[in-house]
Chain A
C-alpha cells in the first residue's frame, strides 16, 4: 500500500452547517503533515470521513488508493487516534489494546511492544478509566501503532500532554515519518506543530486555505521585507534600486525594501558608505503566517464543530 491519504472534493452538511465545503488535499509519506485550522474548520470531520466513520455527501477520501472501508486489516494500514477518551473505563489499558490486537489477528506480544514504546510501562495493567488525559493520549497513540501502519492520523494528540510529553511526541512523530510513514496530525494551535510538521494543510470553513511546505509558508508570510532607517534616504535608494530591490518610502527616514535579503542590503550600503541607523529583517512566525491565512475563515458557530 502507498502511504498516502488523498482527499478530493469532500462536502458534508450537518443540518444547516456546511462542515466540509470542497475539502481536497494529499498527505505524502515520509513527512509529518500538520492539519491546522480553527475549531469547527472541519478537521475532525475530514478525518472521520477518511476513516469511513462519517459519510461525505460528495467527494472521495482514499487511504493508499483505497476507501478505508475496503481495507481488510485496516489497523495494519492506518492507525488513528480520534478521541482518547473512547475507552471502557473498567477495562485495563492492556486489555483495551489486546482486543484491538485480536481484531486484527495480532498477538499479545505486539500489545506489550507498543505499550513499551509509548512508555506506558507498569500502568498498562491499570484500569483505563483512572488514566489522566495525557496517559490516555499515549494509550491512544499506542493503539494507533498496534498494526504498524503505513499511515497515521492523529487528531489533537498534544491535548492534555505536559510540555515534556509534547516534546517527546513531536520527536516520536518525526521519527515515524522518517521511517517512511505518512503522518497527519491535526491541531488548532499552530505552535504545537512548530518544529514537527514539514508540510501544512491549513483549513478554514471546510476548505483548504493553504497546502504548502512550512518553510515556504513562513517565507510567504514574511515576504522578504526589510525595514531600513537611514538619514541618507536618497543615497540608499540610489544604491539599492539598481541592485534589484523594490524600495518604498514609508517615512522621513524610513524605507521598506522588498526582494532583497537584509544581509545583502547591509553589504551594499557598506560598500557605498551610506550611513544607516537600523536594518531589520521581518521574519514571520508560523503563528503569524497561520493567523494571516485563517483570519478570514474563523467562524464562531457554537456547537457546529465536530
Chain B
C-alpha cells in the first residue's frame, strides 16, 4: 500500500455534529433569495391584514341623536369583560353571616320585537336566575358569590362571573336556598323543605372585604335563538326578557334595612330615566323582585384578538409554498444527492431541514404576530372599538400559538415535500388538509356539526390556538367555528397538527431511507 503524504489541513478539524447540518441547512435557506423574500412576504401578510382590519373597524354609539363613545363593559375580578346587571335587594353584612330564602316562584316575560313579532309573551329564558348573593360592593364587576335557581338549568352556585357549579336539577319554584359566609369561605346550599340541606358548592374568596352586601337578586339574560341558515352556519336572534321571582321565608328578615339597587341599570336618552328598570316590593318577609340583564362574562360585542390575526390563513398558504420548495427544489435539480452525500444518515438531513424551516418560520411569525397586535390595538381603540380583554397568558397563547401553528405547518409541508418529491402535489395536499377544512369550517358553508368534526380531525384543528374567548357553559352563545369557537382546546388542536407533522416526517424519513436517492 502506498503511504499517503498529502496534507490533511483543516479537514480533521471537522466535527460530526447535528449543529453542522443545521448550519448548512440555514445557509441553504438564506442563500436562495426567492425563499427568504417569500417567507418575509408571507409573514408581512399578517400585519397587513391586521392593519387593514384595524383601520377599517369603527364603532360609535348613539344616545338619542347624539353620537357618543360606546359604553365599555365592566371587568370582573379576573380582568375579563363582564355583564353585571341585575336587581339586588340587599343589606350590609360585616363578618360572618347567613341568608336563607325560599324562591316561591320564577316567572317572566319575553318581548318579541318587530317585524315578525311585536308582542310580549310570558316565559323565562333558560338562564333566567333568582337567588341569594354576597357581593363585595355595588360596583359593576365587583367580586360576588351567589346560589340561585334558574329557569332551565337547575340550581347553580356561581361566583366571580366565570365560575359555575351545578346543584340539583330542580325546577325553580319552591326551592330553598342558603348562602353563608365564614371568613373567606362562601357556602351555597339548597333544600326542598328548609330543613334538610345539601351543599351546592363551597368557594374560597380571598379578597372579600370584611363588610359585604348580602341579599336577593334576579336577572334574566335576553333570549337568543340560533337558527340554521340554508348554507349551514347559523343566525342568532335576540329578544328582551325580564324575570320576576317571589322570595319568602327570607331570614334574616328583621335585622337591618333592605336597600334596593338596580345594579348596572342604564339611563335613557334624557340622562336620568332608567332604561328597562327592575323593581322590588316587600310584604312582610315576602319579596317580589323583577330584574333583567345577566351576571356573566361578555363573549360577544367586542373585538377579539383573533380578528386582528385573520392574515394567518393567507400567511399559511405562502409559508407552505416556501417550505415545500425548500425541499422539492432539491429533488428537481438532483441536488438531494449532494445533500445525502454530505449527510449519508439521511434522517439527519431532513431533521435539520425541519428544524431550520420550523425555527425560521416560528421566529419570523412571532415578530409578525406581536407587531401586528401591538400596532393594531391602539388603532382599534382610537376608532372607538372595544377590545374584549383577555389575560396575558391568553394573549401569549394566541400570539405564540399562531406563530407555532405556522411553524409546524411549514414542517408538515416539508414532510409532504419529501414524500411527494414534487411541489404541486405537496402544496395541494397541505392545502387540502389544513387550509380547505379551515375555510369550510369557519365560513357559513357547513353546518356546525360537520364543521366541528373537521376541526377535530384535520390539522386545521390547530387554529384553536387563536380562540380568544373561552367557552362558558353558563353563557348562551353560538359556540360554532363561525363564531370563533373551536371544538378542541388550544393545546389539543395544536397537538392534532403536531401529530400530522410527525407522521409526515416519519413517512418522509422512511421513504428517504428505503429508496435510492
| CB atoms of B10 and A53 under 8 A apart | no
Question: Which of A146-154, A156-164, A191-199, A255-263 faces chain B?
Answer: A146-154
User: Which of B6, B8, B32, B335 has most chain A Cβ within 10 Å?
Assistant: B6
Q: Is the CB of A90 within 8 A of B33?
A: yes
Is the CB of A253 closer than 8 A to any CB of chain B?
Answer: no
Q: Give the chain B neighbours of A55 by CB distance below 8 A.
A: 516
Among A94-102, A217-225, A236-244, A287-295, the one that faces the other chain is: A94-102
Task: Tell me whether A54 and B517 are in contact (CB under 8 A).
Answer: yes
Q: CB within 8 Å of B: which residues of A?
A: 2-4, 28-30, 48, 51-55, 68-76, 80, 82-83, 85-92, 95, 98-100, 102-107, 110, 143, 147-150, 179-181
B24 with A100: CB separation less than 8 A: yes
Q: Select from chain A the residue with minimum beta-carbon distance to B21.
A: A103
Closest to A86 in B: B334
Are A105 and B31 interface neighbours, CB within 8 A?
A: no
Q: Which B residue sits closest to A179, measured CB to CB?
A: B6
Most buried by A among B9, B24, B340, B342: B342
- Whether, in the assembled complex, B268 has its beta carbon less than 8 Å from a beta carbon of chain A, the answer is no
* Chain B residues near A29 (CB-CB < 8 A): 1-2, 4
Q: Is the CB of B14 within 8 A of A76?
A: yes
Determine whether the beta carbon of A69 is less than 8 Å from that of B14: no
CB B30 to nearest CB in A, in angstroms, measures: 9
What are 9 A-B pairs with beta-carbon distances under 8 A?
A: A2-B1, A53-B341, A75-B341, A86-B334, A91-B31, A95-B31, A104-B20, A143-B338, A180-B2
A102 lies within 8 A of B5 (CB)? no
Closest to B35 in A: A90
Q: Does B345 belong to the interface (CB within 8 Å)?
A: yes
Cα–Cα, bound, A297→B516 (Å) = 26
> Given A73-B16, A86-B334, are A103 and B11 also a contact pair (CB < 8 Å)?
no
CB of B39 to closest CB in A, whole Å = 15
Query: Could you tell me if B17 and A74 are in contact, using CB atoms closer than 8 angstroms?
Result: no
Known contacts A75-B342, A148-B7; decide if A105 and B27 are in contact (CB<8 Å). Answer: no
Report how far A74 CA is from B340 CA in the complex, Å: 10
B428 interface contact, C-beta 8 A: no
- From residue A168, how far is it (CB to closest CB) to chain B in Å? 20
Contact assessment for B14 and A92 in the assembled complex, using a CB-CB cutoff below 8 Å: no
In this complex, the member of A85, A105, A106, A179 whose beta carbon has the largest number of chain B beta carbons within 10 angstroms is A105
Give the docked Cα–Cα distance between A230 and B227 (Å). Answer: 117
In the complex, given contacts A30-B2, A82-B337, A148-B6, what are 18 additional A-B residue pairs having Cβ atoms less than 8 angstroms apart?
A28-B2, A52-B344, A54-B516, A69-B344, A83-B337, A85-B333, A88-B333, A90-B32, A91-B32, A99-B24, A99-B25, A100-B338, A102-B20, A103-B21, A103-B342, A148-B11, A150-B4, A179-B5
The answer to whether B4 and A181 touch across the interface, beta carbons within 8 angstroms, is yes
> Contact at A83–B34, with CB atoms within 8 Å?
no
CB proximity to A under 8 Å, residues B421-441 = none
Q: Is the CB of B27 within 8 A of A102?
A: yes
Least CB separation from B329: chain A residue: A88
B62 at interface, CB cutoff 8 A = no
Task: Give B residues with C-beta under 8 Å from A.
Answer: 1-17, 20-21, 23-28, 31-34, 329-330, 333-335, 337-338, 340-345, 516-517
CA distance A204 to B21 in the complex (A): 38
Q: How far is the CA of A100 from the CA of B343 in the complex (A)?
A: 10
Give me the 4 closest cross-chain CB pairs, A-B, nearest first.
A180-B4, A103-B24, A95-B31, A179-B6
Q: With the chains together, A2 CA to B27 CA distance in Å?
A: 32
- A102-B2 contact, Cβ under 8 Å, with A53-B340, A76-B14: no
Partner of A53, one of B1, B32, B329, B517: B517
**A181 to B33, Cβ gap below 8 A?**
no
Chain B residues whose C-beta falls within 8 Å of the C-beta of A75 in the assembled complex: 341-342
Distance from B219 Cβ to chain A, minimum over Cβ atoms (Å)? 66
Assembly CA distance A30 to B3 (angstroms):
8
Q: Are A99 and B517 touching (Cβ within 8 A)? A: no
Selected from B1, B20, B21, B27, the residue in CB contact (under 8 A) with A95 is B27
Residue in B1, B23, B338 with the greatest tally of chain A CB atoms within 10 Å: B338
- The answer to whether A104 and B342 touch (CB under 8 A), given A86-B333, A89-B333, is yes
Contact between A73 and B14, CB atoms less than 8 A apart: yes
Chain A residues within 8 Å of B14, by CB: 73, 76, 104-106, 147
| Chain A residue, CB-CB nearest to B344 | A69
Residues of the B chain whose Cβ atoms lie less than 8 Å from the Cβ of A102: 20, 23-24, 26-27
Are A180 and B342 in contact (CB-based, < 8 A)? no
A251–B10 CA distance with the chains assembled, in angstroms: 67
Quick check: B10 and A107 within 8 Å, CB to CB?
yes
Q: Which of B10, B12, B341, B517 contacts A110 (CB 8 A)?
A: B10
Inside 8 A of A52's CB, which chain B residues have their CB? 340-341, 344
Q: Which residues from A are CB-within-8-Å of B342?
A: 74-75, 100, 103-104
Residue of B with least CB distance to A90: B32
Asked whether A105 lies within 8 Å of B4 as measured between CB atoms, the reply is no
A3 and B31 within 8 A (CB)? no
Task: Kindly list chain A residues whose C-beta atoms are within 8 Å of the C-beta of B32.
Answer: 88, 90-91
